[in-house]
């Protein structure tokens, strides 16, 4: 039977992944400060984005993602591998979004794939130190 610490860690990690998607979907970029370590490395190149340190990528997200007037992450299964104060997490996702063209027409776009996180336990809880996005499909 899993111990309480392990169960608690898994719940906290699931909440962290939800916090990440809520921050991105709502455009509340400062919420990402409670998701990533200050020195986190993030790679969105699989979807045509950038890779770099957390401050640079956070600013890029705030600049680019508002082009999509509606965003919604759907998170599926999480594979969580705990190793003391570290964890690796693979989160399956689908991400439909809508932009509006100059003609006023809505343009739906969707992608799906995997988020690969490397997490560390900090004094403030679990944080992502590395995120690599893997795209499996687009529509």
pTM above 0.85, yes or no: yes
Sequence-separated (6 or more) residues with CB below 8 Å from residue 22: 28, 31
User: Do residues 65 and 24 lie in contact, with contact meaning Cβ atoms separated by under 8 Å?
Assistant: yes
How far apart, in whole angstroms, are the C-alpha atoms of residue 43 and residue 22?
19
Note down pLDDT in tens along the chain; length 139 residues: 469 999 999 999 999 999 999 999 999 999 999 999 999 999 999 999 999 999 999 999 999 999 999 999 999 999 999 999 999 999 999 999 999 999 999 999 999 999 999 999 999 999 999 999 999 999 9
Domains of the chain (ranges, CATH numbers)? 4-138 (3.10.450.50)
Nearest one of 78, 75, 79 to 95, comparing CA atoms: 75
Q: In 10 A of CB 139, how many CB atoms? A: 9
Question: SS3 string of the chain?
Answer: CCCHHHHHHHHHHHHHHHHHHHHHHHCCHHHHHHCEEEEEEEECHHHCCCEEEHHHHHHHHHHHHHHEEEECCEEEEEEEEEECCEEEEEEEEEEEEEEECCCCCEEEEEEEEEEEEEEEEECCEEEEEEEEEEEEEEC
User: Do residues 92 and 75 lie in contact, with contact meaning Cβ atoms separated by under 8 Å?
Assistant: yes
């Amino acid at each position: 039977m899993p111990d309480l610490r392990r169960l608690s860690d898994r719940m906290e990690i699931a909440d962290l992944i939800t916090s990440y998607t809520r921050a991105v979907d709502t455009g509340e970029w400062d919420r990402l400060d409670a998701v990533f370590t200050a020195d986190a490395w993030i790679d969105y190149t699989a979807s045509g984005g950038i890779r770099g340190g957390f401050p640079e990528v956070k600013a890029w997200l705030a600049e680019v993602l508002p082009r999509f007037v509606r965003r919604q992450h759907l998170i599926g299964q999480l594979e969580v591998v705990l190793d003391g104060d570290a964890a690796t997490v693979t989160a399956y996702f689908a991400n439909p979004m809508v932009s509006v063209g100059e003609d006023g027409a809505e343009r739906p776009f969707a992608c799906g794939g995997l988020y690969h996180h490397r997490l560390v336990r900090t004094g403030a809880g679990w944080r992502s130190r590395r995120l690599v996005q893997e795209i499996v499909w687009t529509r």
